[in-house]
Amino acid sequence: MSVTVAVRRLAHGADLPLPAYATEGAAGMDLLAAVAEPLVIPPMGRALVPTGLAIALPPGFELQVRPRSGLALRHGIVLPNSPGTIDEDYRGEIQVILLNAGDAPFTVTRGMRIAQAVLAPVVRAAWQEVDGLQSTLRAEGGFGSTGT
């Protein structure tokens, strides 16, 4: 299934390719860094990295921004608000918050794959206040209550 998403390249991202699926079965598309100069993120530091893209999602969809597993494994680069959500009514630039949880400085360069984006449908909740909830075996057990 394919859904059309309107995308606008901003001036500082004009020469970068649009997000694309790397393989036939990929769920996510790589987002690229639209930085003008290399950006060094120190250990335990954060940076807001531009992508040079603005989008208009169709009604009923969100764009989830997720970390890249290779950056997390090799360099400790994670997204502290993962998954980040781009709402259907947001029209500003997509930017990615990167956190360097590694032990060495990490350099973001122009065109580097910094995150992945997954288009997802949104289901909206309609709250129904009740006096009690249906009982389950788990009941109120949480925070590891189902494990050993």
- The whole-model pTM stands at 0.88
Q: 147: pLDDT confidence band, cut at 50, 70 and 90?
A: low
Cα three-residue angle 117-25-121, rounded to 5 degrees: 45
Instruction: Give the rounded percent of residues in the chain with a pLDDT score beyond 70.
Output: 97
- Collect all residues with Cβ–Cβ distance below 8 Å to 108 and sequence separation of at least 6: 33, 35, 38, 39, 40, 41, 47, 49, 98, 114
CA distance 114 to 93: 15
Mean pLDDT of 109-121: 98
Structural domains of the chain sorted by starting position, each given as residue range(s) with its CATH number in brackets: 19-121 (2.70.40.10)
